[in-house]
Amino acid sequence: MNTTTYKPSFGQQSVTSNVYSTRRAWIIVLMLVLFQMINFADKAVLGLVAEPAMRELGLSASQFGFIGGAFFFLFAITAIGVGFLAGLIPSRWILLAMGLSWAVLQFPMLIGGGAMMLLVTRIILGAAEGPATPVSLQHVQGWFPASDRALPSSLVAMGSTLGPLVAAPILAWIIAHPDWGWRWAFGFLGMVGLVWSALWYMVCKEGPYSAYGRKQVAPAQEVEAKQEEPVSTLNNYLPEVRLKGVWFSATFLVATLAGAGCFWAQGFLTTWSPKYLSSVVELSPEMIGMISTLPWLMGAFTLFILGLMSRMVMRRGISVRWGLAALFSITLAISGFCFAMLPSVTGYTAVTMLTLAAGLAMIFPLAPTLVAYCVGARQRAAVMAMVTGIASLGGVVAPIMVGYLMQGAGYTPDIVPGSLEAKVALETGMNKAFWFIGLYLMALGALSFMYLNPDGLLQRLHAKYKK
């Protein structure tokens, strides 16, 4: 088995238990799980308010799809920009700023904003949430040694699935309440965001393995390349490398393309999934609220199992390629297969397939995590941000693509809601989208298995691109 190894020349042993606080580390994990829950509840709310919002604001399917996709217009830019910034200033303050901005941006719709306000706030909210995954992963990885990173990273990533899981029934109840309605769904998320920000201000610190928690650790320049330990057991303080070696690697390219497919699935789930369940599967609003949680529950379960399995095998010295990347690849391919099967099934079988397809596609955070194994603490956020930023374009494409496919199949604003014609047009458009993403994810699963190799990339980076 091909493993790449690096061993610090000295100083690694100076990171002792008095620095590495297990209790504090897991409190930080919990707070970042909540952070990601709020992050993804913010995304899911648009799909839940689709029916009443489209009706009250007079929006067509393509217009609503455009607003859904608008969330990702600045997502990539800010993800990349703030990701690089996180290597210069403590990530705890970046996380606090994001939490506060998310909260504030929910309130304009509560106080009566129209279609244009919804569009503007979704664009700005997307910009504010773009850096969430890379910066939260950067922060939590600063609290754990390399061999233990996979599980806490997966737990933080689980927040992205637990957010809609917890929020969907609450928001559905708020939307259906005669005294509140769909606008209060945004108000509720705003208040939750303010509470989290206050708690984070009280507990946030930088971890001992972060770029700003290294007072008892030897400088990165003192870390030498050795052939003694696997990548999975490396200390976080690898020397910096020229990042062009990362950008032009097969590992980076495949991880980014795979992530784009995951974002496509997420974009569909947060924008069009409730519409699919109501019009095609013909579920009641109450059932939609319950069923909408299932893909997120599946995603949480998948991330937990993959993180646990990876932690177990990498603690035994197994390479990152086989301990985590292979699991990621197989899961991606299974997700694609389930998407491709959706046009062939109906009723609750379709619900099951959608749950599996979308749930298994929620493993995106593992893509930037895999690439980040190749660099040290100060460069992790930049690398993860680049993967996240480019991959997020899949979230821009999905809502718009599905909206136009539906419209091309005859689902126009003047069509009678609930009619057979409307159902056929909607189903035809969505089935075309399912075929596309299914084939895409199966292909990327195969490519990931062949080319997603953090161990080999780390070896090449530190042989050729070391600063």
Of the candidates 57, 146, 130, the residue with the CA atom closest to the CA atom of residue 98: 130
Q: What does the radius of gyration of the chain's CA atoms come to, in whole angstroms?
A: 22
| Domains defined along the chain, listed by start | 21-209+228-462 (1.20.1250.20)
Do the Cβ atoms of 196 and 99 come closer than 8 Å?
yes
- Predicted confidence at residue 237, as pLDDT, reads 55
Would you say 361 and 265 are in contact if contact means Cβ atoms under 8 Å apart? yes
pTM tops 0.85, yes or no: no
Residue ranges of alpha helices (H) inside 361-453 are 366-372, 377-391, 393-408, 420-451
pLDDT for the residue numbered 231? 53
Query: In sequence order, which residues have a C-beta less than 8 Å from that of residue 311 and are 6 or more positions away?
Result: 147, 148, 150, 151
Strand partners, 224: 7
Cα–Cα distance list, 163 to 106, 189, 293 (Å): 16, 11, 9
Residue 458 backbone phi and psi in degrees, to 5: -60, -45
Q: Which residues make beta-bridge pairs with 8?
A: 223
Residue 12 has a pLDDT of 38
Distance between CA atoms of 145 and 284, rounded to whole angstroms?
Answer: 48
- Structure-token pair, residue 246: 């990362």
Angle, CA 334 vertex, CA 328 and CA 338 arms, to 5°: 140
CA distance 115 to 81: 29
Residue 54: count other Cβ atoms within 10 Å of its Cβ. 19
| Regions in the chain scoring below 50 on pLDDT | 1-20, 215-229, 232-233, 235
Nearest CA-CA partner of 36 in 139, 162, 142: 162
- Label residues 93-116 b or e (16+ Cβ within 10 Å = b): ebbbebbbbbbbbbbbbbeebebe
Q: Which two tokens stand for residue 260?
A: 């784009």
The DSSP symbol for 219 reads -
Mean pLDDT over each residue of the chain, to the nearest integer: 80
Sign, CA torsion 200/203/208/213: positive
Model pLDDT, residue 28? 92
Q: Rounded to 5, what percent of the chain is helix, strand, coil?
A: 75, 0, 25
